[in-house]
Chain A
Amino acid sequence: MSALTLLRVALQVVSRNKMRAALTVLGIVIGVGAVIAMVGLGKGASSRIQNQIASLGSNLLIIMPGAIQSGGVRSAAGSASTLTMSDIEAILREVPTVAEVAPTNRTPAQVVSGDANWSTLVVGSTPAFFTVREWEVARGAVHTDTDELSAAKVCVIGKTVQANLFGGLDPIGQTVRIKKVPFRVIGALASKGQSAMGSDQDDTIVVPFATFAQRLGGGQRNLVMSAFASARSADDANKAVAEVSTLLRQRHRIGEGDEDDFSIRNFQDVAKASEEVMRVLSLLLGSIASVSLLVGGIGIMNIMLVSVTERTREIGIRMAVGARPWDILMQFLVEAIVLSGIGGVLGVGMGYVASRVLANVMEWPTVFDVESATLAFAVSAAIGVIFGLYPARRASKLDPVEALRFE
């Protein structure tokens, strides 16, 4: 029996029992659809995290003073004041793979403008902060090196602060009081959204580093709470980490074998870690969805077994006119594959629609890609083979005499 004839016969049989075929196929449709939607959801989450990490600034390194250790008790990273302005200058001077470094200090503070007030995070940093973080202003401008030298009382405000202090009004040129010190608003930052850790990056005010030290930081001009650095390229990021580390160890006179008194976080590593988390999540969602695919497969096996019993006489007739066991096996197997294949095609369609609907309803980006659609379809066809094989074998092993006698 040629492949074409097999397919034609199978389609004929399937179309005879439309209702039954539809219900059988439905199991596979739901299974494949669920897998595609779940994988899409996982991949969507993964791409969202990647975007968020990219929003921190690409090639970003964060350098923080290390934990001090006293009597075996370790404090949190950043608790020691071991990073200084001269370290920052040295990095910029001596590490060629680092393009820019922005030292930052920060403090939570109550900011007041007119009769509005808002509690936010005030960051003191150099103009490099905006380039390293790849953060642009929506209106106005960021502070300049001149502002830095003169410790000007100017600030650039984040979107959330702007909304809470000024509502819809133009903030440029307005005055805000931070810890009772008046600052002139010279720029409004574009929105950056949530950070990878879930905090609102727009809830912030940036002032010149020098001004922060003089007016808000208690006069510790030389100490740095953290520094953002940018590597010259993504490929340089790991090299930059190593070089900065070597330099800081030298400068801090840390002996061989002793622990660093600083830490450097490379956001590519963070990105990789989150991607790994999302990959596991996708896998988990996918495997849960696969269970429904399995149930769909069992549905096919069930209906094929019924079909074999019902058509015992037909099998007998076919055998009497010369069908070999192999022909009978193939006939039922192809029928099962046709059922699961149709289910696969419809399931891919349903998965596509479901990912779209999920994306809208849950406001969660979903990714529908050809790769997982193809895979899901191949799996559904394989399910036809796996779950069709047993009923088909049973059909092919029927005794022709018995089968012909079957009423």
Chain B
Amino acid sequence: MAERNTNVPVIEAVDLRKVYDLGPTRVEALRGVSFQIARGAFVAIVGASGSGKSTLMNLIGLLDRPSAGALRIDGVDVSRLDAEDRAYVRNLKVGFVFQGFNLLGRSTAIENVELPLIYAGVGGFERRRRARESLARVGLGDRQHHMPNQLSGGQQQRVAIARALVNRPSLLLADEPTGNLDSQTSQEILELFQALNVDEGISVVMVTHEHDVASVAARVLTFRDGQLLHDGPPPADWEPAIPRRARQEAA
């Protein structure tokens, strides 16, 4: 897409802060975090629980607003947007994948995938076509009309990924995407992320606390106590769950 200027980082955080005011106590979940994530990157965010990584995900995913600092998604400052506009950006620019899949339990796989298109105002026929296409892309072309409880955990996560991709977002956000899956299925999901990143150039940001999952990414941001502790390639002693595959940059 033309608007996706490859020079603009897909995420740019400048002195990002988030304070939760819980009456008598103030919890500083993020204490001034700055970083950039380039278009087409595959980044893992790691840290112990309480390190601020989930808060960061909520901010990047526009589910929450920063207390201070600037956050730009695709070059647009989203830190001051109201609820309606955040929903709009969330719908078109960000695809979410959760640990618990978060599918609508009483809707079929294809209905779940169609959901973001409904809010994007895509008409019925086109919606169904694109949802089908997206499901096929994650290898579930033959499971369109299954209910989530008729699918395995890995398949449910694939439906969630198909849903995240259906609006062709610039950014795929995954919050512990393999947390509820066995290692075999985890590898399949990671391979899918890798393929989406390497072959289709989708930027992937993944929160995890597992070293083997994190080290599939080319870059790891380590958080502790609301601050960015370390930023760089995964440490050499972390064994990736699947062989790392670098993206071939177009010359």
Flag whether A5 is at the interface (Cβ < 8 A). yes
Distance in Å: Cβ of B228 to nearest Cβ of chain A: 21
* In the bound complex, CA of A322 to CA of B61 (Å): 11
**B58 surroundings in chain A (CB, below 8 A):** 401
B64 near A5: Cβ-Cβ < 8 Å:
no
Q: Does B118 contact A (CB under 8 A)?
A: yes
Contact A322 B90 (CB under 8 A): yes
Asked if A251 lies at the interface with its beta carbon under 8 angstroms from chain B, I say no
Asked if B158 is an interface residue, CB under 8 A from chain A, the answer is no
Chain B residues with CB below 8 A from A404, complex form: 63, 98, 102
Q: Shortest CB–CB separation between residue A235 and chain B, in angstroms? A: 62
Instruction: Give residues 64-120 of B contacting A (CB, 8 Å).
Output: 64, 83-84, 87-88, 90-92, 96, 98, 102-104, 106, 115-116, 118-120
B64 x A321 contact (CB < 8 A)? no
Residues A322 and B116 in contact, CB atoms below 8 Å apart: yes
Q: Which of B23-72 contact A (CB under 8 A)?
A: 58, 61, 63-64
Encode contact with B along A316-345: 1 for CB under 8 Å, 0 otherwise. Answer: 111111111111000000000000000000
With A314-B104, A401-B58 as contacts: A322 and B120 at CB distance below 8 Å:
yes
Interfacial chain B residues near A320, Cβ < 8 Å? 61, 63, 90, 96, 98, 102
A326 — which chain B residues lie within 8 A by C-beta?
84
Q: With A314-B104, A401-B64, A404-B63 as known contacts, state yes or no: A321 contacts B98, CB within 8 Å.
A: no
Nearest residue (CB) in B for A407 is: B100
Q: Mark B137-165, 1 if CB is under 8 A from A, else 0.
A: 00000000000000000000000000100
Number of interface residues of A (CB under 8 A): 22
A404 to B120, CA, bound (A): 21
How far, in Å, is A396 (CB) from chain B's closest CB? 9
- In the complex, the answer to whether A324 meets B83 with C-beta atoms within 8 Å is yes
CB distance from A404 to the nearest CB of B (A): 7
Give 1 or 0 for each of A95-108: 1 = CB within 8 Å of chain B CB.
Answer: 00000000000000
Task: Return the CB mask of B192-235 against A: 1 if under 8 Å, else 0.
Answer: 00000000000000000000000000000000000000000000
Using CB atoms, name the residue of chain B closest to A400: B63
14 new A-B contacts at CB < 8 Å, known A322-B116, A322-B119: A1-B121, A318-B115, A320-B61, A320-B63, A320-B96, A320-B98, A321-B96, A322-B90, A322-B120, A324-B87, A325-B87, A399-B64, A401-B63, A401-B64
A residues contacting B by CB (< 8 A) are 1-2, 5, 16, 313-314, 316-327, 399-401, 404
The 10 closest A-B pairs by CB, nearest first: A322-B91, A324-B87, A322-B119, A321-B116, A400-B63, A317-B102, A324-B84, A401-B63, A323-B119, A322-B90
